[in-house]
Amino acid sequence: MDTPEHMLAQTCAAWGFALSAGQVAQFAAYAEELRRWNERINLTAITEPVEIYRRHFLDSLSLARCWGDTPASLVDIGSGAGFPGLPLAILRPSLRLTLVESVGKKAEFLRHMKDLLGLAEVRVITSRAEDLGRARGERESHALVTARAVAELRVLVEYGLPLLKVGGRMLVPKGAAVHAEVTAAGRAIKVLGGKLVAVEPVDLPGLDAHAVVIIAKLRATDPHYPRAPGTPSRKPL
């Protein structure tokens, strides 16, 4: 029977991502620490090693199939246990990654993993996405934004598009209801300066049907957005 590490390496190779032995070891350390910390704080309901590799690591790495060349900078909103940001940083260590997490204990875990895995280009910010989207040096300055299992799409675009520079892209993994969410978010995407590019299906054995929503930033976001913390989720555009 294949080990989770072998499944990871094989799948990545099929996608055109050759993992080194060191990178495979980093993922193994990540899985072990995730399970250990999860006994103290609620990071994930997924604790079986093979499911961690499939539902967290490979699902996160599938986003790299949508970006072409490695982006200069990526902001991962609501990082939680580090998905999809940390697996992407292991895959591409030169990626300047910002993990945004508002819960202090989860941010502590992310800082621990950054240090343990030796990811020099990763920083962790304890903040609400709405506040970061208005911060000088962050607003409209990043090439890529991701968010996984955080909110519905019309809320996420208000979190993410203000952080993107014009020409940047937002990649959002979504489940079976993706098309309904995309339809509902049409107005918000337009208002915030974006355009829907594609909904790319993701096929991983053992996972329910899901896809990656790709949104491009076409023009600067109106300075009224993002609204005050909590408003996007209470009153979606």
Kindly report the three-state secondary structure assignment for every residue of the chain: CCCHHHHHHHHHHHCCCCCCHHHHHHHHHHHHHHHHHHCCCCCCCCCCHHHHHHHHHHHHHHHHHHCCCCCCEEEEECCCCCCCHHHHHHHCCCCEEEEECCCHHHHHHHHHHHHHHCCCCEEEECCCHHHHCCCCCCCCCEEEEEECCCCCHHHHHHHHHHHEEEEEEEEEEECCCHHHHHHHCHHHHHHCCEEEEEEEEECCCCCCCEEEEEEEECCCCCCCCCCCCCHHHHCCC
Backbone angles phi, psi at 171, to 5 degrees: -115, 120
In tens, the pLDDT along 208-228 reads: 778 899 999 999 999 999 999
Judging by DSSP bridges, how do beta strands 164-174 and 210-217 pair with one another?
antiparallel
pLDDT digits (tens, 9 = 90+) for 75-88: 999 999 999 999 99
Q: Mention every residue, 6+ apart, whose C-beta is less than 8 A from residue 67.
A: 144, 169, 171
Q: What angle separates helix 21-38 from helix 4-14, to the nearest 10 degrees? A: 130
- What average pLDDT is seen over the chain? 93
Read off the pLDDT of residues 7-45 as tens digits, 9 standing for 90 and up: 999 999 999 999 999 999 999 999 999 999 999 999 998
Q: How far apart are CA 143 and CA 137, in angstroms?
A: 13
What is the biggest distance separating any 2 CA atoms in the chain, rounded to whole angstroms?
55
* pLDDT of 207 higher than 80: no
- In contact, 117 and 108? CB cutoff 8 Å: no
Q: Is the pLDDT of residue 190 over 70?
A: yes
Our CA angle for 217, 219, 221, nearest 5°, is 90
Name the CATH superfamily, with its identifier, for domain 68-234: Vaccinia Virus protein VP39 (3.40.50.150)
Q: Quick one: pLDDT band at residue 68, thresholds 50, 70, 90? A: confident
> pTM for this one?
0.93
pLDDT average, residue stretch 165-186: 92
Mean pLDDT, rounded, for 185-204: 93
Distance CA 58, CA 234 (A): 32
